[in-house]
Amino acid sequence: MPDQRRHRGAHPEDGALFAPSAHAVLRTACGELSWLLSRGYPVVATTALVGDRHRLVERQRIAVRRAACSDRARSTRIAQRVAAGSWQGREVWVDGFNVLVTAEAALAGGVLLRCRDGALRDMASMHGSYRRMEETDAALDAVAATLRRHHVASARWLFDRPVSNSGRLAERLRARNEPGWTVEVVEDPDRVLAEAPPPGVIVATADAGILDRGPAALDLAGHVVAELESRPAGQLVDFTDS
């Protein structure tokens, strides 16, 4: 069946799965998983172990896995994060789908995770295909407003060629004619973002695989969501102290 969704909002069961009454057990599970990851245990097996221990369903396990990280990864990611006041005049390379989908989820009232490393992540998944949502243009407006507010010199957007409709989305961004924006569709944005930025360039992503490869980074989606003037009341689960 083709994807007929119009919003990138919450799953029908998320109201119960991520209600405030569930936050304590989710944070405990995240802390336990992070403790195991810090000692070299494999993520798949330990997620299953922790999930079984706390009787978590699949979406809760996904959230805990996205929120958790080893102590070393947490320290490294926090150390390489660029403060908001340091963006002015800088070039930013944007992990396109990573930033845009989180902004869409926020505007649609979806579940958001403030993860153990401080990054904001969502619960959405695209499964190799991107579909424009009713919130897409508003999400792009919000990202543009944040980049302007922080006076970045330029923004280079990168989208995954293997993801269907990435070309159409890139054309949509180009049609906006935002000053300083360039938009590219490349085979492997993660490699480009992790390995290719020259000195002085900031990478905008919450992707753990990119962050763990060491670029100077900013949590652009997190700033976008924090600076939204209004949005539907989605559910935020805070794992920062886990």
Q: Which residues pair with residue 155 across a beta bridge?
A: 92, 181
Q: Residue range 213-222: average pLDDT?
A: 94
**Cβ atoms of 61 and 51 closer than 8 Å:** yes
CA distances from 220 to 172, 193, 203 (A): 20, 14, 9
Residues 41, 17: Cα–Cα separation, whole Å: 26
Q: Is it the case that residue 2 has pLDDT exceeding 60?
A: no
Q: Give the mean pLDDT of the chain.
A: 93
Q: Is it the case that residue 3 has pLDDT exceeding 80?
A: no
- Give tens-digit pLDDT for 70-103: 999 999 999 999 988 899 999 999 999 999 999 9
pLDDT of residue 1: 42
- Give tens-digit pLDDT for 167-200: 999 999 999 999 999 999 999 999 999 998 999 9
* CATH T-level topology, domain 82-235: Rossmann fold (3.40.50)
